Amino acid sequence: MYALRAIARIARPSSPWLGLVACTLLASTSPVAAAPLGGDEIRSRSTGGEFRGYGATRRAQLEDMIWRLRPDGTAVSTSQIRRGGRDSGQFIEYRDSGTWRVEANRLCVDFGSVLRDLSGCYGVDGIGGDHVRMIGPVQLEGTLGR
């Protein structure tokens, strides 16, 4: 709002640019609305693609992960967490495999061992471009596509 007041002082009140600048500033600060993706869109992005993202899991407050979603329905996951301090910590990597499928408007994964807590179905909300928010057993955010 401070920027709008400063622009209002500089621009003449009758200037058509004031409205354009104000709308541009307000649009750039508003959050992007998420829209649920349908099953066909999820399938199109997932088949032969991957999810690259992060979320809070039972292993860590922040776990980075990559799910490779193969066309034959198999899923291979690599995830990484950091233990210890920011400068002295170490990275721990987890790998798992399982299956994936689309049920109605949800992406479902079933991992076999260490990432079993991520198994389940996720509603997928498109945030913009390839960016998604997935809500299921845990909440994840990242990109989904090829």
63-79 pLDDT, tens digit each: 999 999 999 999 999 99
Using alpha carbons only, give the angle 41, 45, 46 rounded to the nearest 5 degrees.
115
Using alpha carbons only, give the angle 75, 122, 71 rounded to the nearest 5 degrees.
30
* Shared-domain flag, residues 73 and 107: yes
Taking the CA atoms of 77, 52, 57 and 138 in sequence, report the sign of the dihedral they define: negative
* Shared-domain flag, residues 53 and 13: no
* Shared-domain flag, residues 85 and 124: yes
Task: Specify the pairing of strand 90-103 against strand 74-83.
Answer: antiparallel
* Shared-domain flag, residues 39 and 95: yes
Contact between 122 and 106 (Cβ < 8 Å) = yes
* Shared-domain flag, residues 41 and 15: no
Q: Collapse the DSSP code of 30 into the 3-class scheme (helix H, G, I; strand E, B; otherwise coil) and give the result.
A: coil
Decide if pLDDT at 84 tops 80: no
Is this structure's pTM higher than 0.85?
A: no
Decide if pLDDT at 3 tops 60: no
pLDDT on residue 32 = 60
Q: Which two tokens stand for residue 92?
A: 């721990």
* Shared-domain flag, residues 2 and 23: yes
* Shared-domain flag, residues 120 and 52: yes
Tally of CA atoms within 13 A in the half-sphere of 60 that contains its CB: 18
Number of domains forming the structure of the chain: 2
Residues for the chain: how many in total?
146
| Domain span including residue 132 | 35-145
